[in-house]
Structure 1
């Protein structure tokens, strides 16, 4: 059995590199290699010294140690370095699920969070985002695995402190297995780092990465965090997939994590300014009805007027203005657009100006 077409990625591949203003991607606009090396306090000479053999299958101890420091009580042995979060999710689902398992998740969702479980024969329990950030919603659900993607893609919503505490307390008391997908933890709505639910003592697994938040998706570095026995099985499974991550990517990743305090505040300011700019003008954009202001992360959820095809709207917007947005139908929810806030601020302002003045989009 194989998964269906990856709707989101197919559209990204067609438009992301051609757009004047890229509001369709869920990551920060990319930096050049020379900029990335400066951010990581590395030089070309540092990379020249890297032996081009396989990195350790689990990831270098230095990188796993840096990742472990992001999670209270986690050791390097509880971290597996993966080729992006896509591989981490693929591994986690294959180990945690079996045919007819029940998986509960926030809906709509990034396709990898449900397509791979469906391929494995799992049953999906979809919790609408309007109520999914209330602990009481989850308490009514019986599942074998609960997936909490926060800040949420595509809406940018997350839990209040009180709802978060109530939910995690419930999950621990009921001994539930939970997967926290925390790709946007480096871009909270306020502060330097967002919360994590990962707790290896309670089967609270975690997947994560910094690549979207740091503008370096081409590094393809992600990770899985779990108890040692789970990581051991995932590492063995990984040998059939990518086997190892490039030692060059690992070295740059280590440098970026070590130096994040120096460059992350400017990235956070850029994203928050873009969100503020969009929130100030969205009502003037043609045929829009409502906007879910993100609590964190890089994306938001814009509702269109009733009866409008999100794909047609997005296609015509790109054709007429060069502004790329992602239609909600790619999340299997019609009538919405996902908006990314990782573009450069000047292009964001110009792109919104073009969009606001555009007609004949439906």
Structure 2
């Protein structure tokens, strides 16, 4: 298959490693191996005991058991461990879908949720997240497009907007998918990253056609570990093996060891990072109130990013180029998500760097406003 371009990945390739302050990413501050060893009590003897033999196609039993216990139904046979959430999304969608299948996707959206189905020749039906509603999902909009759909693909809290469902809306949403008989591909990359309240209940607990996609890359600050998973019906997971046997085969046993210990002690990692994100979000809201001529900020319900409009910019791309090239500050233009007037603004990074990034954004934004 020849995929359409992925503007977000192109942008991150260009600037992610070329800036000092990152206020565009959707994750949190990264942990080091030393951090993990200290937080989780991983000794040198455990690392030395790792033997670099092959793992199994679905992942070793210990890591699948740990993931099933913390994020799943408790059944390790419903878990497949993958190279990040991206591999899980690719394997699951490529296995579930056939050309001409109808697939419901949100808009705006993360690119893999749409590009795989579009490349396969599926009929994409848009469930719009409307800016005039703060990007909050409207279930009546879903009802208008779900009949006859093979799958509904979502992530809540949502990337890039930070919008989500209430617990009652989540239950209604699952029931809509059940009545339509659609598979529900629930990308829970930001599950624990809620601004207030508790994380939503994963649909794998109450819908037998739900497939949950998870990752340690976002709230857990471990993107370089490249650990993700799919939790779902065994027949769907078995169906992915034709692809996996021709791609990645399995994970490293060293990666599985670290992922197991993280899953067994997940709150130790995500808790401090979300405390920092909430502090940064409070600073962002105060900053936005002080710059009403620069930004229109929708308040997120979760995740670590929001999707504000930069006022006075019909297309924010050149502005974001200038921030990165001349001021070494990363901000992602809305063209990467289909709306050129907006930017993805991430608030999950280190507090000092985030504050510097906002100062730079204000300085360059005010300069652009005066010039215009």
* Cα distance change on mapping 1:266 and 1:95 into 2, 3 Å: same
Is 1:286–1:356's contact at 8 Å kept on the other side of the alignment?
Answer: no
Considering only aligned residues, what root-mean-square deviation do their CA atoms show, in Å? 2.0
Q: Distance in 2 between the 1:123 and 1:199 partners?
A: 28
Is 1:52–1:247's contact at 8 Å kept on the other side of the alignment?
Answer: yes
**Which among 128, 139, 142 is matched to residue 138 of structure 1?**
142
Q: After superposing the two structures, state which structure 1 stretch, 75-84 or 279-288, moved more.
A: 279-288
Total equivalences in the alignment: 362
CA drift of 1:286 comes to 8.3
Q: Distance in 2 between the 1:260 and 1:201 partners?
A: 25
Matches within 5 A, 1:178-189: 178-189=184-195
Once the two structures are superposed, residues 122-171 of structure 1 have per-residue CA deviations (whole angstroms, 9 ceiling, x without a partner) of 12112221276122221121222111211000100001222222221222
2:367 is paired with a residue of what secondary structure? coil
Is 2:189–2:214's contact at 8 Å kept on the other side of the alignment?
Answer: yes
Once the two structures are superposed, residues 260-301 of structure 1 have per-residue CA deviations (whole angstroms, 9 ceiling, x without a partner) of 233322111001111111111124458634112110111111
Once the two structures are superposed, residues 59-92 of structure 1 have per-residue CA deviations (whole angstroms, 9 ceiling, x without a partner) of 0111111111234635110110011111111111
If the length of structure 2 is used for normalisation, what is the TM-score? 0.91
Is 1:80–1:235's contact at 8 Å kept on the other side of the alignment?
Answer: no
* Cα distance change on mapping 1:79 and 1:200 into 2, 3 Å: farther
Q: After superposing the two structures, state which structure 1 stretch, 101-110 or 350-359, moved more.
A: 350-359
2:308 is paired with a residue of what secondary structure? strand
Q: Distance in 1 between the 2:49 and 2:300 partners?
A: 42
* Cα distance change on mapping 1:295 and 1:208 into 2, 3 Å: same
Q: In the alignment, which residue of structure 2 is the partner of 1:29?
A: 29
Q: In the alignment, which residue of structure 2 is the partner of 1:166?
A: 172
Q: In the alignment, which residue of structure 1 is the partner of 2:228?
A: 222
Matches within 5 A, 1:210-289: 210-285=216-291, 288-289=294-295
Q: After superposing the two structures, state which structure 1 stretch, 342-351 or 352-361, moved more.
A: 352-361
Q: In the alignment, which residue of structure 2 is the partner of 1:360?
A: 367
* Cα distance change on mapping 1:283 and 1:309 into 2, 3 Å: farther
**Is residue 19 from structure 1 mapped to residue 26 from structure 2 by the alignment?**
no
Q: In the alignment, which residue of structure 1 is the partner of 2:73?
A: 73
* Cα distance change on mapping 1:315 and 1:287 into 2, 3 Å: farther
1:315 is paired with a residue of what secondary structure? helix
**Is residue 151 from structure 1 mapped to residue 157 from structure 2 by the alignment?**
yes
Is 2:307–2:345's contact at 8 Å kept on the other side of the alignment?
Answer: yes
Is 1:328–1:335's contact at 8 Å kept on the other side of the alignment?
Answer: yes
Q: In the alignment, which residue of structure 1 is the partner of 2:125?
A: 125
**What runs of 5+ residues in structure 1 fail to find an aligned partner?**
none
Q: After superposing the two structures, state which structure 1 stretch, 261-270 or 106-115, moved more.
A: 261-270
**Is residue 300 from structure 1 mapped to residue 317 from structure 2 by the alignment?**
no
Is 2:70–2:264's contact at 8 Å kept on the other side of the alignment?
Answer: no
Q: Distance in 1 between the 2:71 and 2:220 partners?
A: 19
* Cα distance change on mapping 1:99 and 1:74 into 2, 3 Å: farther
If the length of structure 1 is used for normalisation, what is the TM-score? 0.94
CA drift of 1:258 comes to 1.1
1:269 is paired with a residue of what secondary structure? helix
Q: In the alignment, which residue of structure 1 is the partner of 2:86?
A: 86
* Cα distance change on mapping 1:349 and 1:153 into 2, 3 Å: same
1:37 is paired with a residue of what secondary structure? helix
